[in-house]
Amino acid sequence: MKFTVSVLAAGLAVAALGGPAAAQEVDNLTAAYEEGGRYYTEDDVPTYNVGEDGTVDWLTYSGFRRYHSECHVCHGPEGEGSSYAPALKESAVDMDYYDFLDVVTNGRQKVNAAENSVMPAFGDNPNVMCYIDDIYVYLKARGADVVPRGRPGGREDKSDDIRAAEEACLGM
């Protein structure tokens, strides 16, 4: 994962400018560069890459698989939400990447007179944490409506860099 101060500064600048209109000024969707089979925005945040023929990058494909093994039970298929938990596809577009990581890692609880929302912490679950960027990128692609519902039809091959990072994370 790439962590940079510029992304945090950009997020703070957007927050300071206020509201969704300001957030639209920061392009958190378009891939600016590729590194080892992973795609990143200009602010070094993971993102998707979808070819004109609908072929998705490896992380988007893997994210589909990981999301459906760990997240869809509560959040519904394809990030659409359910009566039990909110849709996540919009969260991956609207929420800061680091806030997304924090919520998935540490969980979140909002319990008051108006709501009762509990997201469990997944920080100890390697099936989530070793693939957190994959899940995020998949949800981002769904939120941007560039990947339709269902299993992506075509995908790029898994790069050696992605394979090595996966093996290291899983202790293989």
Domain limits for position 113: 5-170
pLDDT on residue 166: 94
Helix or strand run (H / E) with residue 34: strand 33-35
Hey, which residues does 40 pair with through a beta bridge? 33, 46
Q: What is the pLDDT of residues 123-140, one digit of tens each?
A: 899 999 999 999 999 999
Angle between helices 58-70 and 132-143 (to 10 degrees): 100
Rg (CA), the chain: 16
* Sequence-separated (6 or more) residues with CB below 8 Å from residue 127: 66, 69, 70
Provide the number of structural domains found in the chain: 1
Span 89-127, pLDDT tens digits: 777 777 889 998 999 899 888 777 777 778 888 889 999
State the Cα–Cα distance between residues 15 and 163, nearest whole angstrom.
36
State the pTM of this model: 0.77
Check if the beta carbon of residue 22 is closer than 8 Å to that of residue 122.
no
Q: How far apart are CA 131 and CA 63, in angstroms?
A: 7
27-55 pLDDT tens trace: 778 888 999 999 999 989 999 999 888 88
Where does the pLDDT of residue 26 fall: very low under 50, low under 70, confident under 90, or very high at 90 and above? low
Composition of the chain by helix, strand, coil, percent to 5: 45, 10, 40
Residue 70: count of CB within 10 angstroms of its CB = 17
